[in-house]
Amino acid sequence: MINIEEVDLKALKHPLLSAVRTHLPAELTSFCEPGKDRKEKKAPLPLLAVAIDHGQLAGFAFALYYRQLHLADLSLVYVSDQKPFGEVAELLLSFLEARLYAEGCLVIEHHYAKEEGSPDLGLETELYRRGWGHKTLIHTRYYFDCYAFKPKWFTTHHPLPDGFSLKPWKTIDASEKLKIRLLQEQFTFHPFISPLEDESHIQEINSLALLHGDEVIGWMVTHTHPDDPQLIRYSSLYVKPEFLAKGVAAPLLQESILRQQRSPLRWSFFQVTWSFTDQRWIRFIDKRLKGQTSRIVHYARLSKGLR
């Protein structure tokens, strides 16, 4: 018989805690270690439920409850390979949902990633069965091998019209960046595609500014993060709307990819955030980029109201 117990994450004395730690991702392990300060007003309440079968760990579920928002995030459900996933997950989810209800939680969410073409996820199926719904596709990442990127449109030269030019983003000075920031504050473009975000990780190899005369009117900014130094993210492609009909977006993207192809960094991805991505960019991806990807990963959210 499988029993469910809550682990006291203040005392940290449960006999199965060390077994749980071996299956936790790095961002959650700190909640199971001494010295974690949870007295801050905005700090989430961590909840850990373990499934025990004859003294052995059969599985566990971990959630973070944000009291001020009355919102919980189901971070992880783990079930041992030797146990039936649905049976153990059902027990763990029932326990956690009841526990969160007692805390005053209104909504519980689960964020997860699923590679296109992969089998259905066991947890996703179980959550649907338990009445979770309101699935929201948050964003999609399209991964590609830059060295093998040779679609027909790309191998055709796309010159910039007269009066337009490209230059490395790193050469854009403070006065130009101030102008861009003012435009951002006026909601001229969405902050998500701002070239001024996460500047410390901008990839100088192929981040470019698009100019009309001396004015910056667009950019292709990429990033490389320390946790994956061999991967380039094509973060923000933008051209002022009044210049889109000039045919400048394709040369901008083409030159950025060409510069990566001349570099030692082979792998890359671009991302669509569905809630605000321009439909023109989505159509461009479907027509020009999607067919060149090595894999596509969708990031989604499921939620359930507890009241």
Question: Last residue of some domain: 51, 77, 105?
Answer: 105
Q: What percent of the chain has pLDDT over 70?
A: 98
212 and 280 both lie in a single domain: yes
* pLDDT score of 34 more than 80: no
DSSP 103-152: HT--EEEEEEEEETTSPPPHHHHHHHHTT-EEEEEEEEEEEEEGGG---H
* pLDDT score of 98 more than 70: yes
95 and 27 both lie in a single domain: yes
Per-residue pLDDT, averaged over 200-225, amounts to 96
Structure-block tokens of residue 144: 């590609």
Domain that holds residue 274: 143-288
Q: d(Cα 51, Cα 16) in Å, to the nearest integer?
A: 10
- Predicted confidence at residue 286, as pLDDT, reads 86
186 and 254 both lie in a single domain: yes
Return the HEC string of 142-174.
EEEEHHHCCCHHHHCCCCCCCCEEEEEHHHCCH
140-156 pLDDT, tens digit per residue, is: 999 999 999 999 999 99
164 and 282 both lie in a single domain: yes
Beta carbons of 200 and 237 less than 8 angstroms apart = no
* pLDDT score of 40 more than 80: no
Q: d(Cα 96, Cα 4) in Å, to the nearest integer?
A: 10
Whether residue 259 is contained in a domain is answered as: yes
66-86 pLDDT, tens digit per residue, is: 999 999 999 999 999 989 999
- Predicted confidence at residue 26, as pLDDT, reads 85
15 and 100 both lie in a single domain: yes
256 and 194 both lie in a single domain: yes
Whether residue 157 is contained in a domain is answered as: yes
* pLDDT score of 90 more than 90: yes
**Looking at this protein, which amino acid is placed at residue 147?**
Y
- Predicted confidence at residue 41, as pLDDT, reads 62
* pLDDT score of 60 more than 70: yes
Whether residue 45 is contained in a domain is answered as: yes
274 and 215 both lie in a single domain: yes
* pLDDT score of 116 more than 70: yes
Closest CA to 7 of 54, 59, 68, 50: 50
284 and 164 both lie in a single domain: yes
Question: Last residue of some domain: 58, 78, 105?
Answer: 105
pTM: predicted TM-score of the whole model, two decimal places: 0.82
Whether residue 160 is contained in a domain is answered as: yes
Whether residue 134 is contained in a domain is answered as: no
Whether residue 128 is contained in a domain is answered as: no
Sign, Cα dihedral of 31, 32, 36, 40: positive
228-253 pLDDT, tens digit per residue, is: 999 999 999 999 999 999 999 999 99
266 and 156 both lie in a single domain: yes
The band of 14, judged by pLDDT with boundaries at 50, 70 and 90, is confident
164-208 pLDDT, tens digit per residue, is: 999 999 999 999 999 999 988 888 888 888 899 899 999 999 999
- Predicted confidence at residue 184, as pLDDT, reads 86
Place of tokens 């189901």: 74
97 and 159 both lie in a single domain: no
The band of 37, judged by pLDDT with boundaries at 50, 70 and 90, is low
Per-residue pLDDT, averaged over 106-118, amounts to 94
- Predicted confidence at residue 226, as pLDDT, reads 86
Residue with the bigger pLDDT between 63 and 287: it is 63
88 and 162 both lie in a single domain: no
Per-chain mean pLDDT for the chain = 91
- Predicted confidence at residue 35, as pLDDT, reads 60
Whether residue 164 is contained in a domain is answered as: yes
Whether residue 156 is contained in a domain is answered as: yes
- Domains contained in the chain, number: 2
- Predicted confidence at residue 53, as pLDDT, reads 93
* pLDDT score of 135 more than 60: yes
Per-residue pLDDT, averaged over 118-127, amounts to 89
Structure-block tokens of residue 290: 């999607």
268 and 155 both lie in a single domain: yes
Q: What is the CATH number of the domain that holds 40?
A: 3.40.630.30
